[in-house]
Amino acid sequence: MRIFNRIVVILLLAGLFVLGVVTLVYALDIGAYRLEDLVRNLRLDYFYGWLRTYVENVESGNIDAFNIIVLGLIALLGLVLLVLELKPRTPRRVRMQSGTYATRSAVEDEAVTAAEREPEVLESNVRVKAQRRPGAKVSVRASVRPGEDTQSLQSKVRDGVQQHLAEVGIPVSNLKVQIFESDPRETKTRVK
């Protein structure tokens, strides 16, 4: 969305620049240019007449519901694009200590290693989200055999992942662990 917003802003600024230059040329009477000539030469009479009528109708309050909806949608679109442009980007790397960073994939690999140290865990899927402050949001989904004690396994996996990442030096600000029962034949990894 940022690329789209930047393109829109660049086009608007380029249009304002051209409009400013043209207005300056006509305002300072540089050469033999007159504003009436511009309207006539570009064949803007029809558009200018339509725009003038439209603005007069808006000023007098004689517009229909469709035009009100269109103007509201344009204003809303402008507000959404402005908010999306001003929203800071999410960081790509996980901030560890002052000035040190790790890639999200490296943190994911370490979390998978820690989660799969438990013999009951058949496979795990980890998602890491970087933050602006030190640390990362880590979400672990682990698969176990049916009938295992998921509550105790959840706390074991949480403690193991948190301890391993702390040993490696990766601070974790938010760690979520979910344990799911699955058939061992459907897991990607070899049954332990």
What single-letter DSSP state applies at residue 173? E
End-of-domain residue from the set 86, 113, 134: 86
Count of domains forming the chain: 2
Range of the domain at 170: 93-186
Are 137 and 79 in the same domain? no
Burial of 114 (0-12, 13-18, 19+ CB in 10 A): buried
Mean pLDDT in residue range 47-76: 80
Are 103 and 169 in the same domain? yes
User: Is 191 inside any structural domain?
Assistant: no
Examine the pLDDT at 47 and tell me if it is beyond 70: yes
Distance CA 157, CA 177 (A): 7
User: Is 28 inside any structural domain?
Assistant: yes
Question: Do residues 140 and 115 touch, judged by C-beta distance below 8 A?
Answer: yes
User: Is 192 inside any structural domain?
Assistant: no
Mean pLDDT in residue range 35-39: 63
Examine the pLDDT at 33 and tell me if it is beyond 70: no
Residue indicated by tokens 């391993």 = 164
Are 56 and 123 in the same domain? no
Are 105 and 167 in the same domain? yes
Are 103 and 168 in the same domain? yes
Mean pLDDT in residue range 164-183: 84
User: Is 107 inside any structural domain?
Assistant: yes
**Phi, psi angles (nearest 5°) of residue 30:** -80, 120
Are 28 and 99 in the same domain? no
Examine the pLDDT at 192 and tell me if it is beyond 60: no
| CA of residue 81 relative to chain centroid, distance | 12
